Structure 1
Amino acid sequence: MIHKLKLDSRYLSGSFDQNYKPVHTINSGDSLHLTTPDIQWGYSPNEDTPKTFYKSNQQEEKPGHPMIGPIAVNGAKAGNVLEVRLNDIVPGWYGENWAGGGPSWQNQAAGISEEEKIQLDWHLNTTNLTGSCQIGDRSFHVGLSPFMGLMGTSPKEPGTHDTPPPRYSGGNIDCKELVKGSTLYLPISVDDAHFYIGDGHALQGDGEVSGTAIECPMDHVDVTLTVRDDMTLTSPLAKTPSGWVTFGFNEDLNVATGEALSSMITLMEEQYGIKKTEAMAIASTVVDLRITQVVNGVKGVHAMLAHGALRG
């Protein structure tokens, strides 16, 4: 069954809390067709229409990222896995990103802590998936690779949880590999899963170094949610068009790297029937470690095993 949710404040949350009442309920195997707002809680369908701004359905003092959710999935139990299949992701016509204007560690490293914050306004062509922005009298052009920066289930810990840091249940992963055609597997920590999705990105580099990607609304997101009781996970796992991806999240980049690597070694043990030391030796030849993002407080690293890189 397909559930079409029009963009409306009653479907939006700006934080995670297992006690939030679901904004919608579906069955395992159902699909959602969504339109998501930009990072500033706004949406414009075309260049001739001013933005409409939306609010969180929850009573947060300071809402974070605008997310559609929580979506309840009937029959999901704590300990199961939620399979999130990304069937289609179509960005809106505009996007923005920012740099400077604050004492973040990356601004200090780049020598721009005292510089005035700038905003780049991007025009997005959704037909040929290109984007352009103007800096002075020069135009800059990029190819787009849209994905959802934030997908997660509710954490098991009680209370309200902010959106910026990624965690074992997913959330603000900000991994540019999670494009159309990907499947993300998320641990389920509370009954009915309580799935959230938002934070559209038209293009992002590994690291998301300024703190933002090309932040954009999504005109159309098509996802299928399936409960898996034949899997057990303690952190997110993804199968993308490019390969298998495991994740690590921690304030310490070394610890995050270790988590991503450990999960990849476990995956290789299971898929290839080899020992941990053997998987580690092979991983050193075919697995890439990449910095997902360094700007969400909790940093992210992902390990990637490309399809076809290992045969046997």
Structure 2
Amino acid sequence: MTVHTITPSRETLHGTFSSTFTPVLTIESGDSVEATTLDARWSIEPSTPDRLGEQFEPRDPKRDGGHALCGPIAINGAKPGMTLAVQIDELVTDRWGWNVAGGIDNSINERLGFGQDADRFRMIWDLDPDTATATNQLGHTVQMRPFFGVMGMPDASGELLPTAPPRPTGGNIDCKELVVGTTLYLPIAVEGALFSVGDGHAAQGDGEISGTAIECPMASSRLTLSLRDDLSITTPIARAADAWITLGFHENLDEATLIAIDAMLDLITREHGIKRVEAMALASVVVDLRVTQIVNGVRGVHAILRDDAIRLD
């Protein structure tokens, strides 16, 4: 196994997905990548309550309009129909982060009175990776559970794809369960896979209701990327330390829920060797559904099956 390094630069950064991008790094299945990433808005310095930090320049308006991602990374031998396993080995945040509420015109803010005409509030966080805590300017301290909001690959369209919506091949998943010790599985749509990563989050609630987590750079991270040709999936799934997770994405929250349930039924039938109708009955007793996020245009729902939920006597 080889360990590779990727850091933010004009060559490695991009703010869209596309199968036409030239990989900045080519690795073998089972290799690890140590990545340093910017925050979602391409910041190169902290913001304050009254001032946004300077951003990385230059940026291409078409290619770099979304989250600041590092990549793409090609994996030798990756082909459409295979699955990419992303093992999350290490995540260390930088020392600062931010999130905002209000002042953005969307249906959630309009309904709650925080629309375009409302003031925008910027919450600034001091991050302490040593104690895994974050403290804001109001004196509130929360526990950090760092994860990458965006981990994904392009589809086969060849188009420039915005980073905001999650897709079957990953992207802006924003699932707070994808912490160190978890392995994310993504269906591959293009030769080489072309994996990219970014959008560090120090902490986030299910739903990400204001549209932001604690957005932060990652001072260091380590991901191990492996190919699987024995696992066929159509939507991302994840193996956590103590649970299986299946993810569904759709503009309609009900449809996202059904996609997550469908994938969970496939998983239960595979892992427990039972019929699909039996899996449905069992899932109604032991599977939990959670709203991943409601703010990315395409909504997300994840289903969780804890290891201790089923015992075989």
TM-score range, shorter chain: over 0.9
Cα distance change, pair 308–55 in 1 and its aligned pair in 2 (3 A): farther
Q: From the superposition, tell whether residues 100 and 261 of structure 1 become closer, same or farther in structure 2 (CA, over 3 Å).
A: same
Look up the match of 1:162: 162
| 1:174–1:293 CA contact under 8 A, matched in 2 | yes
Q: TM-score, normalised by structure 1?
A: 0.94
Whole-angstrom distance in 1 between the partners of 2:59 and 2:85: 26
Farther-moved stretch of structure 1 (298-307 vs 51-60): 51-60
Shift of 1:249: 0.5
Query: Match of 1:120, SS?
Result: strand
SS at match of 2:161: coil
> What are the equivalent positions in structure 2 for 1:1-312 lying under 5 Å apart?
1-44=2-45, 53-55=55-57, 60=62, 63-113=65-115, 114-135=117-138, 139-312=139-312
Q: What's the CA shift for 1:24? A: 1.1
Question: CA–CA distance in 1 between the matches of 2:31 and 2:288?
Answer: 34
Q: Give the whole-Å Cα distance in 2 for the aligned partners of 1:282 and 1:262.
A: 13
Instruction: State the partner residue of 1:48.
Output: none
Structure 1 letter corresponding to 2:304 = M
1:233-278: per-residue Cα shift (whole Å, max 9, x none)?
Answer: 1111100124111011111000000000010011001110111111
Tell me, what secondary structure is at the counterpart of 1:267? helix
Q: Which amino acid counterpart does residue 116 of structure 1 have in structure 2? A: D
1:185 match: secondary structure: strand
CA contact (8 A) 1:12 1:56 kept: no
- Which stretches of structure 1, 4 residues or more, deviate above 3 A after TM superposition? 55-59
Unpaired runs of 5+ in structure 2?
47-52
Q: Which moved more, 1:269-278 or 1:201-210?
A: 269-278
Separation in 2 of the partners of 1:12 and 1:56?
11
Equivalent residues of 1:83, 1:183 under 8 A apart: yes
What amino acid does structure 2 have at the position aligned with 1:281? A
Q: Distance in 1 between the 2:192 and 2:289 partners?
A: 33
Quote how far apart the aligned CAs of 1:156 are: 1.5
The superposition leaves residues 80-103 of structure 1 with CA deviations (integer Å, 9 ceiling, x where unpaired) of 111100000111100000000023
Question: Which stretches in structure 1 are left out of the alignment for 5+ residues?
Answer: 46-50
How far did 1:231 drift?
A: 1.4
User: What is the Cα deviation at residue 108 of structure 1?
Assistant: 2.2
- Cα distance, 1:134 vs structure 2: 1.7
Q: C-alpha distance in 2, partners of 1:177/1:6?
A: 25
Distance in 2 (CA, whole Å) between partners of 1:58 and 1:226 is: 31
* AA aligned opposite 1:14: G
With over 3 angstroms needed to count, the CA separation of the structure-2 counterparts of 1:77 and 1:27, relative to structure 1, is: same
Change (3 A) 1:54 1:102: closer
* Separation in 2, partners of 1:90, 1:106: 32
* 8 Å CA contact retained: 1:12, 1:57: no
Higher mean C-alpha displacement, 233-242 vs 81-90: 233-242
Aligned-residue RMSD, C-alpha: 1.8
Q: How many residues align?
A: 306
Deviation at 1:154, TM superposition (A): 1.6
Q: How far is the alpha carbon of 1:230 from its aligned partner?
A: 1.3
**Deviations, residues 126-166 of structure 1 (Å, cap 9, x unaligned):** 1010000123xxx1110000000000122112211100000
How high is the TM-score relative to the length of structure 2?
0.94
Specify whether residues 57 and 44 from structure 1 end up closer, same or farther in structure 2 by C-alpha distance, changes over 3 A only: closer
